[in-house]
Amino acid sequence: MAKRRGYHFALLVYFLMCTAQELAASRAGYEYIVEADAWLRLHIVPATWSDARLRCHLEGGVLASPTTTAIATAMSAMMADSKMTTRFVFIGVHALISKGDFMSLDGVPLANLSIRWREWEPNNVKNNEDCVTIDGAGEANDVSCDSPHPYFCRKETAKMTVNKCGTTADGYKLEPRTGSCYKLHRLARNWHRAAMACHAEEAHLAVINSNLESQVLKEIFAAVPNNVIKSGDPNFAFVGVWDWNEHGEWLTVFGESLPEAGFDGWSPNEPNNAGGQEFCGSIKRDGLLNDYPCLIRLPFICEITPK
């Protein structure tokens, strides 16, 4: 009898392990590569190499390189499974530090990577090919860093834990008064980069839907003193509204007007379009709205709205 129970227990454990594996197989667009104990994501929307690098970084990962044969094999399999119209995918290999000396982003030289050049490559066409793609067969080609390609990001298992805000990104805190999670980024970015950073964390630039939410953001901002804001004006933080048509028609990032969103509290004398280029939305430390130049860097607040 005891033996039988042991058998059933073993079966149960096996079943639970299988289920856990299934769940672990895909998360936030990433696939678990068992042989490498790493997570890979194939971004099929083409981007320049530096935008691809930034996107991976903002997701908490790196632009991936085929550092081992296990990773190289997984990359080929993912490319074969995808619905891409192009054959070439950016990897983290580049020669931007020293021309012709290709290395991965963590400095591993080409000789130690699992890479095979295509015939006649690398050829540095127009002396402008410092970035590297691979094709479905895993063969490498040096290409211009400025031409957009799909790309691979890689994240370590330790960075894949989903928190109670539903994201693998750190720094999000649930606010019971609104039911949303928020994160104030102290490293300043321009408005579009800020939006990109939020999306990379499965969030969006914060949208204020009530006086209460404006108060909540005011408190979150107040908790971050001026001297810990890195490289931007510490008196403003970007949020998810913009004057998309540059004619004073302010919309949220969900396309609603401010009254539709439920909050149109501008700070005194705002919006004033100071300097004629203030088409993106921020809050001041009073928690009220201010128009601000989209291209100047500010701290910013991301939000995850519960599903």
Residues near ligand BGC, by CB under 6 A: 270, 272, 274, 278, 290-292
Residue 303 binding result from ligand BGC, Ca ion, none, given CB thresholds of 5 to 8 Å by partner type: none
CB of 86 to Ca ion, least distance (A): 42
Exactly one of 291, 296, 298, 304 binds Ca ion (CB under 5 A); which one? 291
CB 109 within 8 A of CB 101: yes
Q: Which is nearer to Ca ion, 18 or 274 (CB)?
A: 274
Q: Which is nearer to Ca ion, 178 or 282 (CB)?
A: 282
CB 76 within 8 A of CB 138: yes
What's the CA gap between 103 and 108, in Å, rounded? 5
CB of 54 to ligand BGC, least distance (A): 25
Residue 161 binding result from ligand BGC, Ca ion, none, given CB thresholds of 5 to 8 Å by partner type: none
Residue 287's closest CA among 173, 232, 206, 176?
206
Q: Which is nearer to Ca ion, 213 or 278 (CB)?
A: 278
Residues 37-66 binding Ca ion (CB under 5 A) are none
Residue 26 binding result from ligand BGC, Ca ion, none, given CB thresholds of 5 to 8 Å by partner type: none
Exactly one of 38, 95, 290, 301 binds Ca ion (CB under 5 A); which one? 290
145: helix, coil or strand? coil
Residues 250-279 binding Ca ion (CB under 5 A) are 272, 274, 278
Residue 289's closest CA among 259, 253, 265?
265
Residues across the chain: 307
CB 76 within 8 A of CB 69: no
Q: Which is nearer to ligand BGC, 190 or 290 (CB)?
A: 290
Residue 91's closest CA among 136, 133, 146, 48?
133
Within 13 Å of residue 209, how many CA atoms lie on the same side as its CB? 12
Q: Which is nearer to Ca ion, 257 or 272 (CB)?
A: 272
# of chain residues touching Ca ion (CB under 5 A): 5
Within 13 Å of residue 109, how many CA atoms lie on the same side as its CB? 5
Residues near Ca ion (CB under 5 A): 272, 274, 278, 290-291
